[in-house]
Amino acid sequence: MKLITEINQKDNSEQSIEDSELYLDKIYEPNLRKLLSKCYQCVRCSGVCQLSKVQSFVPSVIIQRILEGSEDKVISSGVLWDCLTCNSCLQNCPEDINFADIVRNAKYKMKNYYKQNPEQFVAHKGIYTTISEILSEPYIQPNKNLDWVPKECKISDKGDILYFVGCIPYFKFEFQEVDPIPISSLKIMCQIENRPIVVLKDEVCCGHDLYWGLGNFEAFIKLAKKNYDLFEKSSVSTIITSCAEGYRTFKVEYPKLFEDFDKKFEVKHIIEYVYEKLKQGKVELKAPDESDINIQFTYHDPCRLSRFLPKSNNLLEKLREIFNILEGLGYSFKEMTHNKENALCCGVSSWMNCNTRSKALRYSRLLEAKEAGTTLVTSCPKCIMHLSCLQKDYDDLSSIEIKDFSEFLVNLIHVIDSENNGEVKS
């Protein structure tokens, strides 16, 4: 009979360890100074740092200390766990120093070499990050509930277009606000496409929170591999997602791991998808009813769709064009004081640091929203959860209606001419 301890020691085989190291090299840079060498201390990053407004956190000083050789002290102090990774600093950096990337690499170091426990920084006692970690294990095959799929939508497990739902089914545990996002996104897609859309039952998390939040790159790599295999198996060519974090991860992070990810799969956000269909003349937007005319809406730019995307990606301009069309039809759209790349942070990213300080950030964001309009549209499920969580505490803010982009658009879309190829796959 084997002892329990013996069974526990049976871990990964050596081969898989080597394999993951190969991938790890692609996303992990152990030498932080190398990433920072261009810094000439203009201190812009500290000026724009959103976190510095609510607590003492000075990126430029941290950079300087690392450059002076006290990287060890900076990392062992654990100060970098506090960073929101909102990327405001990169947006304003003249030398394009990616501070969030340094934080990400440092988090891996802090976790693995300095044995720091990030548990005290993780929100909700780490329940959602633990789910991601469990999903990354090779022996786990999720069995997602597909009861939410609207009746008029045809779905299959093989086909061209995939809708990536992401973690939203798990968020339902505490957040009901995000429920309508997959439903309305799928409704939009079903109306436009005639063929069934792929929604996978065994789809896993994209790994964003482990990558940016916990610095658990091993689990991130495992998740990425799982996703890659799943996409390949269902022979999809286009991946559409309504999640800002998932979009950014597929667009930027996965191609780093798999060289052919870009060529094999085309990743689109639901905004891009709707925009393309508008341009192709397949859909049009409806004019408002009388009851809708007074609705003033505004848009909260999630960091993952604004500052985190490469500059060549003009997703936000596409979105503003859609809003322009809506304005032409009679809706009133108003920008918040801080918008696009300068948008304020929702206060939490990757389930890290939900505390009184980040709450202050959220409060100031919602105050801006209240000034701008009655409906707040955004495209990040996390932003919706964080902002509507704050609304419960403040009566003066509870009048703002927070909606996802797809939820906002689902009733405004009218399909002109659906493709009648006659080739409807079963």
Partner 1 sequence: MTKAVSQVEKEDFEPYILVFCCNWCSYAGADLAGVSRFQYPPNVRIIRVMCSGRVDPAFVLRALKNRADGVLISGCHIGDCHYISGNEYTRDRFERLYNIIIKQLGVNEKRVKLEWVSASEGKRFAKVITDFTSEIKELGPLRK
Contact positions vs partner 1 (CB under 8 A): 1-4, 7-8, 124-127, 130-131, 133-135, 137, 139-145, 169-170, 172-173, 202
Give me the half-sphere count of Cα atoms (radius 13 Å) on the Cβ side of residue 113: 10
Residue 128 or 308: the one with the smaller Cβ distance to partner 1 is 128
Smallest distance, Å, CB 3 to partner 1?
8
Residue 163 or 308: the one with the smaller Cβ distance to partner 1 is 163
Inter-CA distances, 367 with 26, 338, 361, 391, 399, Å: 41, 12, 10, 11, 11
Residue 207 or 373: the one with the smaller Cβ distance to partner 1 is 207
Q: What pairing do the DSSP bridges indicate for beta strands 413-415 and 283-285?
A: antiparallel
Tokens (6 digits) for 332: 């009133």
Residue 136 or 184: the one with the smaller Cβ distance to partner 1 is 136
Smallest distance, Å, CB 172 to partner 1?
5
DSSP class of residue 344 equals: P
Using alpha carbons, select from 194, 216, 326, 322 the residue that is nearest to residue 269.
322
Residue 179 or 276: the one with the smaller Cβ distance to partner 1 is 179
Helix ranges, 161-216 (H): 168-171, 180-192, 208-209
Residue 9 or 56: the one with the smaller Cβ distance to partner 1 is 9
Residue 2 or 392: the one with the smaller Cβ distance to partner 1 is 2
Smallest distance, Å, CB 111 to partner 1?
15
- Tell which phi-psi region holds residue 172, choosing left (phi > 0), alpha (psi between -120 and 50) or beta: alpha
DSSP per residue, 303-328 = TTTTTTS-TT--HHHHHHHHHHHHHH
DSSP class of residue 44 equals: H
Burial class (CB in 10 A: 0-12, 13-18, 19+), 351: buried
The length of the chain is 426
Is residue 294 classed as helix, strand or coil in its secondary structure? coil
Smallest distance, Å, CB 128 to partner 1?
9
Smallest distance, Å, CB 388 to partner 1?
18
Tokens (6 digits) for 73: 């002290």
Smallest distance, Å, CB 175 to partner 1?
11
Smallest distance, Å, CB 147 to partner 1?
11
